Amino acid sequence: MSQPSTSIPISFLDLPREIRQKILKQTFNPELDVRLSPKSQPLYPEENMNCRWNSIRVPGHTEKQAAEMRCVEDWMREKTRIGKWHENLVSVDVLVEEDMHWVANEWYEELSDLFGMLSFENLGKNLSRRSSRS
């Protein structure tokens, strides 16, 4: 007959750093709503698209400029979400705080890679118009 285990259960913090980091990285799912590829083709199937991209017009801007502006706004919103989630997780434990330096960098890098896939031909014009209105 086997003896019951007398070992102490392993907690999340007992796991190797690399495994903790992989788990922590998976706790954040981006909600970036990408609509334009470099060739102005949708990156996602039509059924996954949010109709707001087609229905909202921005006065003084072409449809493409308006879509680019919304992409930038979504990207900034997502960057803020990453920051808030990072703040929540670093408060858990000192080990998690150390792990989160790598994890947050990975999240920001992925977000930047996704943003870099987009073609923002009119981004400079859009930003200068916004700053002149402020």
Query: Is residue 125 one of the residues assigned to a domain?
Result: yes
63-90 vs 94-116: helix axis angle to the nearest 10?
170
Nearest to 44 by CA among 53, 35, 52: 35
Query: Is residue 24 one of the residues assigned to a domain?
Result: no
User: What's the domain range around 66?
Assistant: 33-133
Number of domains in the chain: 1
Query: Is residue 102 one of the residues assigned to a domain?
Result: yes
Query: Is residue 3 one of the residues assigned to a domain?
Result: no
Query: Is residue 98 one of the residues assigned to a domain?
Result: yes
> Are the C-beta atoms of residues 35 and 43 closer than 8 Å to each other?
yes
- In tens digits, the chain (134 residues) has pLDDT values of 677 777 888 899 999 999 999 999 999 987 655 444 343 444 444 434 443 444 455 566 676 666 777 777 878 888 899 999 999 999 999 999 999 999 999 998 888 877 776 655 544 444 444 444 44
Structure tokens at 131: 């700053």
Question: Pseudo-torsion of CA 8, 11, 13, 17, nearest 10°?
Answer: 100
